[in-house]
Amino acid sequence: MKQPTIAIIGAGAVGSTAAYALILKNIPAKIILIDINEKKCSGEIQDLIDARCITGSCALNSGAMHDAGNADIIIITAGIAQKPGQTRVELAKTNIEIVDSIIKTIKPIRKNSIIIIVTNPVDSITRHVQEVAGIERNRIFGSGTFLDTQRLRSFLAQRLKVAPQSVQADVLGEHGDSQLVNWSSAHIDGVPLSSFAQFNHHEFDEIALKTERKAYDIIACKGFTNFGIATCIATYCEIILADLKQVIPVSCYVERYDVCFSLPAVLGLQGVEEIIFPQLSDEEEKKLEESARILNQYYAEIKNH
């Protein structure tokens, strides 16, 4: 079978660490790393080839932007960080313009490619790319709250002294301030979290807030986040290429709310193959609707700016 190609556009902290995670995970694929800053990209590739030499996994190359449209998986991590004085909407507008120009350059995109958006604001950019890429929208998804979900599970696992993999609890909605935790369905091996005697509602709120703030906390210390998100990216690729049909929260188009945000989705070779609507309490349902409303308003502001 032909080796699949994964194109990573944006060889910054996230893109280059994603390539490294793919190498360490031994994903059988050829990686193409592309960046507008060719010198930096070349440095990252030379360094990554040293890692690849030891693991013997993925082949690795630099690539021209137009090569990406033919890749099996296209990962977009290109963007700029917020500048002093720049508003959230201005930053979003700039990053949408960057991603838009990338999509125009890599077109035509192979109909059976999968596009993974990582650039922030990820929900709005995912929605925009679904409108302009010219491939089915279920083949385009954003990294969404999969990373937030790992952070949540990790906090809960520390608290309950179990492995994070044994905790079933998801962050849903926006990858951002209006996200919510699906506490009512959260469980450990079928036992609802709410029935663990040591937990009270105050603590649930604290853990949800810590989860939401974790990216800010990391950025305050080191200026960016890369390891967690890169491992998420490598995991999406692993799930798609092996057609694992694993259910994870990613940012996808949800017709019910006419928005792109995160709900648990079946991920496979076709991209987002189905959305699994979670059981929510009335309060959680309201928070999810509010998250959709906020994102729709934000998207309209970006488009009209």
3-state SS, residue 6: strand
Task: Verify binding: residue 224, ligand NAD, rule CB under 6 A.
Answer: yes
Rounded distance between C-alpha atoms, residue 41 and residue 64, angstroms: 11
Task: Verify binding: residue 118, ligand NAD, rule CB under 6 A.
Answer: yes
Rounded distance between C-alpha atoms, residue 32 and residue 175, angstroms: 27
Task: Verify binding: residue 78, ligand NAD, rule CB under 6 A.
Answer: yes
Stretch that binds ligand NAD, among 5-13, 19-27, 150-158, 281-289 (CB under 6 A): 5-13
Nearer to ligand NAD, 155 or 193 (CB): 155
The secondary structure of residue 173, as a DSSP letter, is B
Task: Verify binding: residue 7, ligand NAD, rule CB under 6 A.
Answer: no
Residues of this chain, 122-161, that bind ligand NAD according to CB under 6 A: 122, 143, 147
Task: Please list, residue by residue across 113-128, b when 16 or more beta carbons sit within 10 angstroms of its beta carbon and e when fewer do.
Answer: bbbbbbbbbbbbbbbb
Residue nearest ligand NAD by beta-carbon distance? 12
Q: How far is CA 12 from CA 38, 91, 115, in A?
A: 11, 17, 18
Residue the block writes with tokens 């798609």:
240
Nearer to ligand NAD, 13 or 135 (CB): 13
Catalytic residues: 175
- The 10 Å Cβ neighbour count of residue 253 is 19
Task: Verify binding: residue 12, ligand NAD, rule CB under 6 A.
Answer: yes
Residues near ligand NAD, by CB under 6 A = 9-15, 35-37, 40, 77-79, 81, 95, 98, 101-102, 118-120, 122, 143, 147, 175, 224-225, 229
